[in-house]
């Protein structure tokens, strides 16, 4: 009879110990599930932020490409105007019989216009270079955002793996008890 009481006491103690372990593992599972939910929320938030940044980046890139195109068109127009003025200078020198004062005045006026056109050309060339540099910076930002997204995805996979491992341990402990 005493043996039965001892066995019953041992069984109760094991049952109590098993329940404590089960409660502890249940709490750990809840903690892991909560962490997973939080990580998924953060991941989704970062994905949304990434999409917004991606969209803004595309818009900025499109705007800068349009500006670059317009600058190139303006540059071509200025080059054509410069050529036309240079041709006009040659025609005036060769074809017109103007007195020396008028020729000098016209030549000076066209030269100023040519210098102004050249200055505008240089300014536009600088602007094209700035836009190109800005596009490169935007491409670098895209690469960084993609890298961040990949890191978040890796974190999510790791959390899911730890959760599966914890669930497997819990299941294994429940089977052994």
Burial class (CB in 10 A: 0-12, 13-18, 19+), 172: exposed
Q: What CATH number is attached to the domain comprising 85?
A: 1.10.287
90-118 burial, b for 16+ CB within 10 Å, e for fewer?
eeeeeeeeeeeeeeeebeeeeeebbeebe
Q: What is the reported pTM?
A: 0.35
Give just the sign of the alpha carbon dihedral 86, 91, 96, 100: positive
The model's pLDDT over 57-106, given as tens digits with 9 standing for 90+, comes to 999 999 999 999 999 999 999 999 999 988 887 777 766 555 666 668 87
- Domain limits at 170? 2-176
Instruction: Provide the domain count of the chain.
Output: 1
């Amino acid at each position: 009879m005493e043996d039965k009481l001892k066995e019953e006491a041992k069984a109760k103690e094991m049952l109590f110990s098993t329940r404590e372990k089960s409660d502890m593992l249940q709490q750990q599972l809840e903690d892991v599930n909560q962490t997973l939910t939080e990580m998924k929320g953060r991941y989704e938030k970062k994905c949304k932020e990434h999409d917004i940044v991606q969209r803004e980046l595309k818009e900025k890139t499109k705007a800068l490409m349009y500006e670059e195109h317009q600058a190139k068109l303006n540059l071509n127009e200025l080059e054509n105007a410069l050529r036309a003025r240079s041709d006009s200078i040659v025609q005036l020198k060769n074809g017109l019989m103007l007195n020396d004062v008028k020729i000098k005045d016209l030549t000076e006026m066209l030269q100023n216009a040519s210098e102004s056109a050249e200055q505008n050309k240089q300014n536009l060339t600088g602007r094209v270079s700035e836009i190109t540099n800005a596009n490169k910076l935007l491409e670098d930002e895209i690469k960084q955002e993609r890298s961040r997204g990949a890191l978040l995805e890796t974190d999510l996979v790791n959390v899911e793996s730890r959760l599966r491992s914890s669930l497997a341990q819990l299941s294994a402990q429940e089977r052994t008890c």
